[in-house]
Amino acid sequence: TVSRPMGLRGKQQQGTSRIPSQFHKEERVAMKEALKGAIQIPTVSFSPKESNTTALAEFGEYIRKVFPTVFSTSCVQHEVVGEYSHLFTVQGLDPSLQPYMLLAHFDVVPASEEDWEVPPFSGLERDGFIYGRGTLDNKNSVMAILQALELLLIRNYIPRRSFFIALGHDEEVSGMNGAQKISALLQARGIQLAFLVDEGSFIVDGFIPSLKKPFAMISVSEKGAINLMLQVNMTPGHSSAPPKETSIGILAAAVSRLEQAPMPNMFGSGSLKTTLQHLANEFPFPTNLILSNLWLFQPLVSRMMERNYVTNAMVRTTIALTMFNAGVKVNVIPSTAQATMNIRIHPAQTVQEVLELVKNIVADDRVQFHVLSAFDSLPVSPSDDQALGYQLLHQTIRSVFPEVSVVTPGICIGNTDSRHFTNLTTGIYRFNPLYLQPQDFSSVHGINEKISVQAYETQVKFIFELIQNADTYQRPVSDLHEL
């Protein structure tokens, strides 16, 4: 299962000296303080139409202040796109090398003060952890990318391969004004990327009970999504003489039918099968044998995957009821009831197929369907020996996390800004160089989101090394022989 990254040589390119990823005490203090300051700016996206624009603008000022070298070095060009997003173009020395992109977002989902152990926008440090909304999703990446570049530039490092840093301001509400505009801008400039790295996956630990060792999952695709609103209109009236059925009752029954009838299990036609095959030898007997013989045990394994929410989301399209609105007064029967749901589409199905299934389950003509937004799952990026982005991530994981023995392709169950970049590259990789346990996963969009100071330093180190690895890539020997 331990496959070496092929086609990459650990050696540095001639003429470029490797800078060790070691940081002084003062640098380490400065980097954690910079992250805390970023957490304190409440860059909340509430809805596609409502965000804290004052905070978004303040964030732009803040990064100028804490990363002065990034903003003053001649090889780095900075632009603001879509009012608040940021695009950095780092000009490399060798124009023959195709550029890549590091992508992250600095908007966050709302956080209610009362549920947290520490205020969510305090950036407080407690027991070696920095707390706050955005510490895992995704100000950690924004700050780590800029921090790694700042430290490289301070050490007079000049990249060979050009790269872009794109920092979105509205990822949590679609990315239409940030990532999508950056993508359009680069397309207009005729840019094609060798690969792109975004959030969306981790070194996962403890999600499968019998698998004791953590493994790195690089997501090579992500699920599609539909935001769907169901509506029922009935005659309003006095609550003292109610009809047999009301808009609320009809709608409640419809959504209950949806909850009771999960979408089909699609294990076998998705990348989870590949992930499990990579992991087979890491499991104790007899699971190792079962996973090595999926041709025989596929039905058993597909049922095993349904046992927890995260792996269940990997084998099927899921439906989450997220909003339910009806009624204005206790003695008035309302005319309208609305339920909004967020559907995540398994790659083996399409938007149209899922909508058909949902309509068949609801099976009530009084229920109207309004598709608010929809897109299919994302294309699968290559993870073979020739896939530059995948292999660079693999190589960097091996050097920064030598204890992690398995690196595997996987699927992201959430959506990311990277989906707006399919016009610029086929190599889209979602990977955060952090350990993630089930309780950490619950804190993302939940309460008490936090990152350890040590994990954040390691994330900076990872990017510091990744940038250098992208500069020292050499084509595989087999390719060179063909010339």
CA distances from 377 to 164, 340, 345, 442, 448 (A): 25, 20, 7, 23, 30
CB of 267 to Zn ion, least distance (A): 26
Q: How many residues does the chain have?
A: 483
Q: Which of 310, 332, 371, 372 binds ligand LX25XAGQ (CB under 6 A)?
A: 310
For residue 477, give both structure tokens: 């020997």
Q: Which amino acids are annotated catalytic?
A: 107, 171
Q: Which CB, 143 or 305, lies closer to ligand LX25XAGQ?
A: 305
Number of residues that bind ligand LX25XAGQ (CB under 6 A): 22
Q: Which CB, 125 or 199, lies closer to Zn ion?
A: 199
Q: Which does 413 bind (CB under 5 to 8 A by kind): ligand LX25XAGQ, Zn ion, none?
A: ligand LX25XAGQ
CB of 45 to Zn ion, least distance (A): 9
Q: Which does 204 bind (CB under 5 to 8 A by kind): Zn ion, ligand LX25XAGQ, none?
A: ligand LX25XAGQ
CA distances from 169 to 53, 110, 173, 187, 394 (A): 9, 14, 9, 20, 29
The residues in 135-154 that bind ligand LX25XAGQ, with binding defined as CB under 6 A, are 137
Q: Terminus-to-terminus CA distance in the chain, angstroms? A: 32
User: What is the spatial distance between Cα 404 and Cα 2, in angstroms, rounded to a whole number?
Assistant: 9
CB of 424 to ligand LX25XAGQ, least distance (A): 17
The residues in 175-214 that bind ligand LX25XAGQ, with binding defined as CB under 6 A, are 175, 199-202, 204, 207-208
Residue showing the smallest CB distance to ligand LX25XAGQ in the complex = 414
Q: Does 317 bind ligand LX25XAGQ (CB under 6 A)?
A: no
Only one of the segments 9-17, 134-142, 271-279, 294-302 lies at the binding site for Zn ion (rule: CB under 5 A); that segment is 134-142
User: What is the spatial distance between Cα 288 and Cα 280, in angstroms, rounded to a whole number?
Assistant: 5
Q: Which of 137, 150, 440, 471 binds Zn ion (CB under 5 A)?
A: 137
Only one of the segments 72-80, 136-144, 261-269, 322-330 lies at the binding site for Zn ion (rule: CB under 5 A); that segment is 136-144
CB of 208 to ligand LX25XAGQ, least distance (A): 6
Question: What is the per-residue binding string for Zn ion in 150-189, x denoting contact by CB under 5 A?
Answer: ----------------------------------------
Yes or no: say if 148 and 83 are a contact pair by the CB < 8 Å rule.
no
Q: Which CB, 16 or 312, lies closer to ligand LX25XAGQ?
A: 312
Q: Which CB, 172 or 457, lies closer to ligand LX25XAGQ?
A: 172
Q: Which of 43, 51, 85, 138 binds Zn ion (CB under 5 A)?
A: 138
Q: Which does 472 bind (CB under 5 to 8 A by kind): ligand LX25XAGQ, Zn ion, none?
A: none
Q: Does 415 bind Zn ion (CB under 5 A)?
A: no
The residues in 243-302 that bind ligand LX25XAGQ, with binding defined as CB under 6 A, are 275
Q: Which does 449 bind (CB under 5 to 8 A by kind): ligand LX25XAGQ, Zn ion, none?
A: none
Q: Does 172 bind ligand LX25XAGQ (CB under 6 A)?
A: yes
**Count of CA atoms in the C-beta half-sphere (13 A) of 95:** 2
Bridge partners of 172?
Answer: none
Only one of the segments 66-74, 184-192, 194-202, 264-272 lies at the binding site for Zn ion (rule: CB under 5 A); that segment is 194-202
Q: Which CB, 173 or 337, lies closer to Zn ion?
A: 173
Residue type, 394: H
Question: What is the per-residue binding string for ligand LX25XAGQ in 414-443, x denoting contact by CB under 6 A?
Answer: xxx-------------------x----x--
Tokens 């589409």 correspond to 345
Q: Which CB, 254 or 412, lies closer to Zn ion?
A: 412
Yes or no: say if 306 and 312 are a contact pair by the CB < 8 Å rule.
yes
Q: Which positions touch ligand LX25XAGQ (CB under 6 A)?
A: 137, 171-172, 175, 199-202, 204, 207-208, 217, 275, 310-311, 412-416, 436, 441
Q: Which positions touch Zn ion (CB under 5 A)?
A: 137-138, 199
